[in-house]
Structure 1
Amino acid sequence: MSAPVRIGIVGTGGIARVHADSIARLGERATIVGAVDVDPERLAAFQTEFGVEAGFASLDELLQHGHPDLVHLCTPPGLHREQALAALAAGVDVLCEKPPALSLAEIDELAAAERASGAHLATVSQHRFGGRATWLRERLADGRLGRPMVAVCNTLWYRPDAYFEVPWRGNWNIEGGGPTMGHGIHQLDTMLSILGPWAEVVAVSARQARPVATEDLSTAIVTFDNGAVATVVNSLLSPRETSYLRFDFEFATVELEHLYGYGDDNWKITPTPGHEAEVEALWAEGPHGNSGHAAQFAAVLDARERGLPLPVDTGAARRTLELIAGIYASSFTGARVASGDIDADSPFYASMEGSGAPWRESFVTAE
């Protein structure tokens, strides 16, 4: 058996605990060799809780003295670009919490740094790795459910005003956007991983209630290369919280409803009349299994052992960020946005806010 992969965790807040728990499930395949936090008390508490011997005040110290093979970035989004660049320059693989970058310009910079270093960058997109999501991608590939026609992708969550007292939340420059970027990204990414490339989006965003610079609601209609059409809602205003994906094929409807993670029981399939027997037989085949960080981490280690790019790779992450940029661009300009429209000449290439949210002036005045 090969030596355990040496992992460094950067940032020791709530999501870092999910990472540490998930790494522990990998057994002897991986070990945490160091943790980083600017808050000494938080760092010490994390070290005690998870038995991490080495603590560092900076990523540079971890890279120099901890000798990690792989770093997990569990910091606020505004730090991801700088930290990923530092790790890649040191030849260390990176697994970054979403979003890996705040703009298409940043993700392109990271892709260039990845190519130059020979190290790999991957984004945490744990909902891709549940068994039924894999099953559904296989059905798109083999066509046994027929043509995909209609989809629904809803992230209906609730965050009160107090949630945004953390300075980086609701801020374009640090979080990169509102629920479209920071919350709905997981459902959007899962939808794209199943339905494939998107062709065009038309969207509306609003700041309905929350004291933020970003949106607290967005809606979109997305057309895919394969002809499917999806409706999308991203909200932080919804007291009955749910994460919901629905795919209507020629021969069945497949639905997923959960909140922050799913198992087999969260999926449902409804055959088209006359296709019950073959659809039920397909459904019984599997694969099965829960989504979650542990499932993706295992896939990351598998890829490292085989010398392959880490899942979810930079190209896949960029496709999701491009759709998010398209939603903002359509929302703020009123135009239909096609895939490929947002290039270096577009204001939405360097920032998801682009030309400016319609409520920007009123927010600045209120501040």
Structure 2
Amino acid sequence: MSEYLMTHNQLRVGILGLGAAANHLHLPACAAASEKIKLVGGCDISPEGRQKFKQAEVFSSLDVMLERTTPDLLIIATPPSDHLASCLLAIEAKCHIFCEKPFVPSLADADKIISAAHTNGVHVSVNNQFRYMDTHRAAFQAIDNPGFGELRYVLATQTFRPSAQTEKGWRGDLTQRTCFEFGIHVFDLLRYFFKEEPISIFASMPKKHPGEPDLLNTIHVEFSGGKTATIILDRLSRGPEHYLDVRLDGEYADITTSIGGRACFEIGMHTAERRPYARFRFAFGGVATLKNGRTERILAKNPLDPIREATKYLFSEIVNALINGEKPPSSAEDNRHTLSLVIASYDSAKKNRPVLLSSYTRQTG
């Protein structure tokens, strides 16, 4: 524990990467936690990024920022190809880390970071924030409880239209694109909802041309006891966008969750009973609904920007844990499990067969 933390009961925080993720997610999270953190520096190789950053002293070199500001916690909001080197520098400086997702491109990189963190006594967390959205936490709380029962099957779907804006920067350079950058969120939710690690994966990622990114993912995930999940990530669709829709099938009911605003008025007829119905639905940032036949009950609604609000929530939990000397959530070790499912999916698609996940487990000792 640093002298500043012991004296002020605040974490000194630095941020590496002053682009879109920092401005949209991490600086608002720091502002929301301002009573418990002090932002001491920002670092970016881009002069434009440095010029716009006014919250603290600004640097072009991570080494220099770590030496001059001695942060307790470093937020890493750079492309994933930079994460290994940046994490190792921060760990060597005895600095805890909150790293953007995707964590790193390979399991070997993840293992290097985890080993270095253990050796130096620091914690590394990753911003897989989807499980901290209000809708997903409400769905999780219903699982294994009366009215829903055991979770048996999950269907997760996305229809998304890539554009010049969405593919700008490092994302547009990826050939392993959709599953690596977005699928990692879905795999994290599956592990969260099923409360266990999956057994096997069978993925298909058809491409018209060999060098193009994986615009279509269909992935079948097997868990114990006959529990299964299907992931469909479709970036070929030219229809309406649905950022992420999830259906959870339980013993006694279903739960549906969505990310993104919804407003619709429905009017129709229940054919069997010849009974008319009408209903209006509205949610700013998505909704979780418990369904049993034709009866529905809203469990939770997301705020207008659920990704930003979930990042605030997770960052607050990490800050509280570090101040209290506890292990923070969303650890690198846990995120390595999620990353292994992404890597296994690409391997399965390449081999055109299911793969067992036991071979992707981290070897220790």
Q: Specify if TM > 0.5.
A: yes
1:268 is matched with 289
Distance 2:212 2:362 in 1: 24
Counterparts of 2:257 and 2:205 in 1: how far apart (Å)?
Answer: 25
The offset of 1:271, in angstroms, is 2.3
Q: 1:62 to 1:143 in 2, by over 3 A?
A: farther
Alpha-carbon distance change, 294 to 118 in structure 1, aligned in 2, over 3 angstroms: same
Q: Report what 2:270 is aligned to.
A: none
1:153–1:191 CA contact under 8 A, matched in 2: no
Tell me the alpha carbon deviations over residues 37-61 of structure 1, each in whole angstroms, 9 at most, x when there is no partner: 11123211122xxx22x11111111
SS in 2 for 1:255: strand
Q: CA deviation at 1:164?
A: 4.0
d(CA) in 1 for partners of 2:355, 2:260: 29
Q: Aligned pair 1:214/2:213, yes or no?
A: yes
Which residue does the alignment assign to 2:99?
A: 96
Q: How has the CA–CA distance of structure 1 residues 137 and 165 changed in structure 2, closer, same or farther, with 3 Å as cutoff?
A: closer
Deviation at 1:64, TM superposition (A): 0.4
Distance in 2, matches of 1:310 and 1:90, equals 19
State the Cα distance separating 1:305 from its structure 2 match: 2.4
Alpha carbon RMSD of aligned pairs, Å?
2.9
Distance, in Å, in 1 between the alignment partners of 2:39 and 2:237 is 37
Gaps in structure 1 of 5+ consecutive residues:
346-367
Q: Deviations over 1:199-229 (max 9, x none)?
A: 11111013348x9653222111111125321
Shift of the 91–59 alpha-carbon distance from structure 1 to 2, 3 Å rule, reads same
Deviation at 1:75, TM superposition (A): 0.4
Amino acid at match of 1:299: E
Contact 1:154 1:184 in 2 (8 A): no
Separation in structure 1 between the aligned mates of residue 72 and residue 284 of structure 2, nearest angstrom:
31
Distance 1:295 1:344, change over 3 A: closer
Quote the residue 2:248 is aligned against: 247
With over 3 angstroms needed to count, the CA separation of the structure-2 counterparts of 1:65 and 1:309, relative to structure 1, is same
Query: What secondary structure does 1:232 align onto?
Result: strand
Q: How far 1:123 moved relative to its partner?
A: 0.4
Q: 1:252, 1:190 → 2: CA distance?
A: 19
Q: Does 1:76 align with 2:55?
A: no
Flag the 1:146–1:167 CA change in 2: closer, same or farther, 3 A: closer
Which range moves more in the overlay, 184-193 or 96-105? 184-193
Matches within 5 A, 1:1-367: 2-18=8-24, 19-47=26-54, 51-52=55-56, 54-140=57-143, 145-160=148-163, 163-164=166-167, 166=169, 169-171=172-174, 177-196=176-195, 197-208=197-208, 213-239=212-238, 240-242=240-242, 243-259=244-260, 266-271=287-292, 291-342=309-360
Per-residue CA deviation, residues 170-224 of structure 1 (Å, 9 max, x unaligned), is 335xxxx211001222222122211131111111013348x96532221111111
SS at structure 1 position matched to 2:199: strand
- Equivalent residue pairs, number: 329
TM-score by length of 1: 0.81
User: What is the rounded CA distance, in whole Å, between the counterparts of 2:362 and 2:212 in structure 1?
Assistant: 24
Matched residue type, 1:298: S
CA contact (8 A) 2:15 2:75 kept: yes
* Inter-CA distance 288–157: structure 2 relative to 1 (3 Å threshold): closer
- Look up the equivalent residue of 1:28 and give its one-letter code: E
Distance of aligned partners of 1:213 and 1:223 in 2 relative to their CA distance in 1, 3 Å threshold? same
Amino acid at match of 1:122: S
What SS class does the counterpart of residue 94 from structure 2 fall into? coil
Residue deviations 1:111-169 (CA, integer Å, cap 9, x gap) = 11111110000000111112342333334355762121111112322213575463663
Instruction: Give, in angstroms, the shift of residue 323 of structure 1.
Output: 0.9
1:207 and 1:43 map into 2 onto residues whose CA distance is 39
Distance 2:156 2:171 in 1: 26
| Mean Cα deviation higher: 68-77 or 18-27 | 18-27
Percent same amino acid among aligned pairs? 23
Q: Which residue of 2 aligns with 1:356?
A: none
**Could you tell me how far 1:342 is from its partner in structure 2?**
3.4
Map Cα deviations across residues 58-110 of structure 1 (whole Å, 9 max, x no partner): 11111101111111111011001110111111110001100111111111111
Q: Alpha-carbon deviation of 1:264? A: 8.0
How far apart are 1:272 and its partner, in Å?
5.3
What residue number does 2:279 align with?
none
